């Protein structure tokens, strides 16, 4: 099969790494890719948002399957365009992608179909939003309705902080059009969990559990990020809890989207809060998590390509996947200053040395090569140092040993990834 993966981050590198191992594969492309992805696939200089060029490329190269990595092209309708031209595509169409594209839409789906989530209100006017905050008090959560690259959520511990978040989104335009509408909801208390499933519009196939670390600093402090590390499996996801998630959230969500005339086909990533009352939806995502995808691909024993095809073709029923019993952990190396402003173009050395351990793979999230051939940082999150081990603790030790071999003075990482599992 001739496969095109769309995207340029650590998630897409992990997907390319897994797909490249499939005996079904004859040629793998990635658009636009990065310096690490170039080891697994032929990188094509087409942006993930350039649907015209992507469509032309698929036709010219006779692509058999397109795997859309990031959410923005899905929300913009890329999967619709590809399927309309008869190109098999892994990823939901625009209507189903609204589960991530509009937090208001997803909250309304939960309310309509009795899927447990936090109490909420939607606002398009700053004054009304501020009045609601003063009425409800803090802590409270303020979310930009649209896509904001993981930065549109403020967990406000004071009313003043929440009101400042309203001003940033609605008055200052910090998130552009994504912040024109806000969702304000109760602050749930509990442990967070990332739950993934493949869905073909009818059938949902749960994947292994994972847990992400969103805050930039050790001890879960500082602003939210796209994710500073992850591990799998997550001890909090017991068999009993998994059954509740499937029965109370996953299956009802797939059935709800079908009932709404927008059957979901792709990977459904549900961010959950495990409260005293049970699991509740924090948010939906319509693509693999980043960096959770990295640990999932490291633990997956089955060939990923047939699973992606079955999802796209609507043949997931009776499909199964095998997972190795080992744990996996990924540690994100980010540019100093992330998630704020940061310098680009700094040189990174000895990534090969970090990968000398056979249990370690370094997935690239924001890298390129300069004219001298040096590996350079091009983004906020830059490398995902990923390891497997018999336990979460063993995976952690291998991952951090590899991190310490990478020479990049302008980078940093959290030093406590996996602390929830280890504690």
CATH number, residue 30: 3.40.50.20
State the pLDDT confidence band at 278, using cuts at 50, 70 and 90. Answer: very high
pTM: 0.94
pLDDT tens column, 300-320: 999 999 999 999 999 999 999
Q: What is the pLDDT of residue 73?
A: 97
Tell whether 339 and 243 lie within a shared domain: no
Of 158, 180, 202, the one marking the end of a domain is 180
pLDDT tens column, 351-401: 999 999 999 999 999 999 999 999 999 999 999 999 999 999 999 999 999
Residue 361 CB partners (closer than 8 Å, separation 6+): 17, 298, 355, 386, 387
Average pLDDT of span 191-214:
94
Structure tokens at 104: 């208001």
Q: For residue 243, tell me if it sits in a domain.
A: yes
Q: For residue 110, tell me if it sits in a domain.
A: no
Of 46, 66, 91, the one marking the end of a domain is 91
Tell whether 206 and 270 lie within a shared domain: yes
Q: For residue 29, tell me if it sits in a domain.
A: yes
What stretches of 47-185 show up as alpha helix (H) in DSSP? 51-60, 71-75, 78-84, 94-101, 103-112, 126-136, 159-166
Average pLDDT of span 146-167:
90
Does residue 223 carry a pLDDT above 90? no
Q: For residue 382, tell me if it sits in a domain.
A: yes
Average pLDDT of span 77-95:
98
Tell whether 201 and 285 lie within a shared domain: yes
Tell whether 400 and 342 lie within a shared domain: yes
Q: What is the pLDDT of residue 152?
A: 86
CATH number, residue 206: 3.30.470.20
Q: For residue 423, tell me if it sits in a domain.
A: no
Tell whether 169 and 231 lie within a shared domain: no
CATH number, residue 152: 3.30.1490.20
Does residue 243 carry a pLDDT above 90? yes
pLDDT tens column, 48-83: 999 999 999 999 999 999 999 999 999 999 999 999
Average pLDDT of span 26-33:
98
Does residue 149 carry a pLDDT above 80? no
Helix axes of 10-20 and 304-313: crossing angle, nearest 10 degrees: 100
Q: What is the pLDDT of residue 421?
A: 85
Smallest CA-to-CA distance from 147 within 178, 176, 183 is with 178
Q: For residue 264, tell me if it sits in a domain.
A: yes
Tell whether 288 and 195 lie within a shared domain: yes
CATH number, residue 391: 3.90.600.10
Average pLDDT of span 23-42:
98
| Mean of pLDDT over the chain | 96
Tell whether 202 and 309 lie within a shared domain: yes
Average pLDDT of span 269-277:
95
Q: For residue 105, tell me if it sits in a domain.
A: no
What stretches of 102-147 show up as alpha helix (H) in DSSP? 103-112, 126-136
Domain that holds residue 301: 191-313
Q: What is the pLDDT of residue 360?
A: 98
User: Is the Cβ–Cβ distance between 190 and 275 less than 8 Å?
Assistant: yes
Q: 3-state SS of the chain: helix, strand, coil percent to 5? A: 35, 30, 40
Q: What is the pLDDT of residue 226?
A: 87
pLDDT tens column, 114-135: 999 999 999 999 999 999 999 9
Tell whether 6 and 80 lie within a shared domain: yes
State the pLDDT confidence band at 423, using cuts at 50, 70 and 90. Answer: confident
Tell whether 198 and 262 lie within a shared domain: yes
Q: For residue 104, tell me if it sits in a domain.
A: no
Q: What is the pLDDT of residue 182?
A: 96
Tell whether 147 and 223 lie within a shared domain: no
User: Is the Cβ–Cβ distance between 366 and 339 less than 8 Å?
Assistant: no
User: Nearest 5°: CA angle at 115, between 69 and 227?
Assistant: 35
Proportion of the chain above pLDDT 70, given as a percent: 100
Does residue 151 carry a pLDDT above 80? no
Of 66, 91, 116, the one marking the end of a domain is 91
Proportion of the chain above pLDDT 90, given as a percent: 94
Number of compact structural domains in the chain: 4
Tell whether 195 and 296 lie within a shared domain: yes
Tell whether 169 and 204 lie within a shared domain: no
Calpha distance 242→246 (Å, rounded): 6
């Amino acid at each position: 099969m001739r496969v095109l993966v769309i995207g340029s981050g650590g998630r897409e590198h992990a997907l390319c790494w897994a797909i490249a191992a499939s005996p079904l594969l004859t040629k793998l492309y990635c658009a636009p890719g990065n310096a690490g992805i170039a080891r697994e696939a032929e990188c094509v200089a087409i942006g993930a948002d350039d649907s015209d060029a992507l469509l032309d490329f698929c036709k010219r190269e006779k692509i058999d399957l397109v795997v859309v990595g990031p959410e923005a092209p899905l929300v913009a309708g890329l999967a619709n365009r590809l399927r309309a031209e008869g190109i098999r595509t892994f990823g939901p169409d625009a209507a189903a992608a609204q589960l991530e594209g509009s937090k208001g839409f997803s909250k309304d789906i939960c309310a309509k179909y009795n899927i447990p989530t936090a109490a909420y209100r939607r606002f398009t006017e700053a004054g009304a939003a501020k009045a609601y905050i003063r009425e409800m008090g803090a802590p409270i959560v303020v979310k930009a309705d649209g896509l904001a690259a993981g930065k549109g959520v403020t967990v406000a511990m004071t009313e003043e902080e929440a009101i400042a978040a309203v001003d940033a989104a609605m008055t200052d335009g910090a998130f552009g059009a994504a912040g024109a509408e806000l969702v304000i909801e109760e602050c749930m208390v509990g442990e967070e969990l990332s739950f993934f499933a493949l869905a073909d519009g009818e059938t949902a196939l749960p994947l292994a559990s994972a847990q992400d670390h969103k805050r930039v600093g050790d001890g879960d402090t500082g602003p939210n990020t796209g994710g500073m590390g992850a591990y799998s499996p997550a001890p909090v996801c017991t068999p009993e809890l998994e059954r509740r998630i499937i029965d109370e959230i996953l299956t009802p969500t797939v059935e709800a989207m079908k009932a709404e005339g927008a059957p979901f086909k792709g990977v459904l990533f549900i961010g959950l809060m495990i409260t005293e009352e049970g699991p509740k939806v924090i948010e939906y995502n319509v693509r693999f998590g980043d960096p959770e995808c990295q640990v999932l691909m490291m633990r997956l024993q089955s060939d990923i390509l047939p699973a992606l095809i079955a999802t796209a073709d609507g043949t997931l029923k009776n499909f199964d996947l095998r997972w190795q019993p080992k744990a996996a952990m990924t540690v994100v190396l980010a540019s100093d200053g992330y998630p704020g402003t940061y310098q680009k173009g700094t040189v990174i050395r000895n990534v090969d040395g970090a990968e000398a351990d056979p249990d370690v793979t370094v997935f690239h999230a924001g890298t390129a090569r300069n004219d001298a051939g040096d590996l350079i940082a091009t983004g906020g999150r830059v490398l995902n140092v990923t390891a497997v081990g018999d336990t979460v603790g063993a995976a952690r030790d291998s991952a951090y040993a590899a991190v310490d071999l990478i020479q990049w003075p302008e980078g940093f990482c959290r030093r406590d990834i996996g602390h929830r599992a280890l504690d």
